[in-house]
Amino acid sequence: MYESTLYFAGRLLYDVERISKKINRDREEYRVYKELCNILGEENVLREEPMRAHTTFRIGGPADYFVTPESEEQVQAVIGLSRREKIPYYILGNGSNLLVGDQGYRGVIIQIYKKMSKIRIEDHEIHAQAGALLSKIAARALDASLTGFEFASGIPGTLGGAVMMNAGAYGGEMKHVLKSATVLTPEGEIQTLTLEELELGYRTSIVARKGYTVLSAVIALESGKQEEIRAYMEDLKERRVTKQPLEYASAGSTFKRPEGYFAGKLIQDSGLRGYSVGDAQISEKHSGFVINRGNATAAEVLSLIQHVQDTVEEKFGVRLETEVKRIGEF
How would residue 1 be classed by pLDDT, with cut points 50, 70 and 90?
A: low
* pLDDT for position 157: 95
| CATH 3.40.190.10 matches 2-114 | no
How would residue 4 be classed by pLDDT, with cut points 50, 70 and 90?
A: low
**What are the catalytic residues?**
203, 253, 323
6, pLDDT greater than 80: no
> When comparing pLDDT for 307 and 28, which is higher?
307
Is the fold of 2-114 the same as that of 245-327? no
Mean pLDDT in the chain? 94
How would residue 5 be classed by pLDDT, with cut points 50, 70 and 90?
A: low
The percent of residues above 90 in pLDDT, for the chain, comes to 91
Q: What is the mean pLDDT of residues 225-238?
A: 98
Task: Classify strands 325-327 and 98-100 as parallel, antiparallel or unpaired.
Answer: parallel
What is the DSSP secondary structure assignment for residue 321, as one 8-state letter?
P
21, pLDDT greater than 70: no
Angstrom distance (rounded) from CA 283 to CA 270: 14
Provide the residue ranges of all domains of the chain, joining segments of one domain with +. 2-114, 117-227, 245-327
14, pLDDT greater than 80: no
Angstrom distance (rounded) from CA 302 to CA 298: 6
* pLDDT for position 128: 98
| SS3 label, residue 21 | helix
Say which amino acid occupies 193.
L
pLDDT digits (tens, 9 = 90+) for 90-100: 999 999 999 99
How would residue 26 be classed by pLDDT, with cut points 50, 70 and 90?
A: confident
Class of domain 117-227: alpha beta
The per-residue b/e assignment along 147-166, b for 16 or more CB within 10 angstroms, e otherwise, is bbbbbbbbbbbbbbbbbbbb
2, pLDDT greater than 60: no
Q: What angle do CA 73, 75, 78 make, to 5 degrees?
A: 110
How would residue 19 be classed by pLDDT, with cut points 50, 70 and 90?
A: low
Q: What is the mean pLDDT of residues 155-177?
A: 96
12, pLDDT greater than 80: no
Rg of the chain (C-alpha set):
23
Q: What is the mean pLDDT of residues 25-37?
A: 91
Q: Which of 118, 100, 76, 145 is nearest to 329 (CA)?
A: 100
104, pLDDT greater than 60: yes
What is the DSSP secondary structure assignment for residue 320, as one 8-state letter?
P
Q: What is the pTM of this model?
A: 0.90
126, 139, 168, 215, 270 from 147: Cα distances, Å = 11, 11, 15, 24, 39
**CATH fold of 245-327:** 3.90.78
Helices (H), the chain: 2-40, 72-84, 134-143, 159-165, 195-198, 206-210, 226-243, 263-269, 298-316
Q: Output the CA torsion 71→76→79→84 (10° steps).
A: -140
267, pLDDT greater than 60: yes
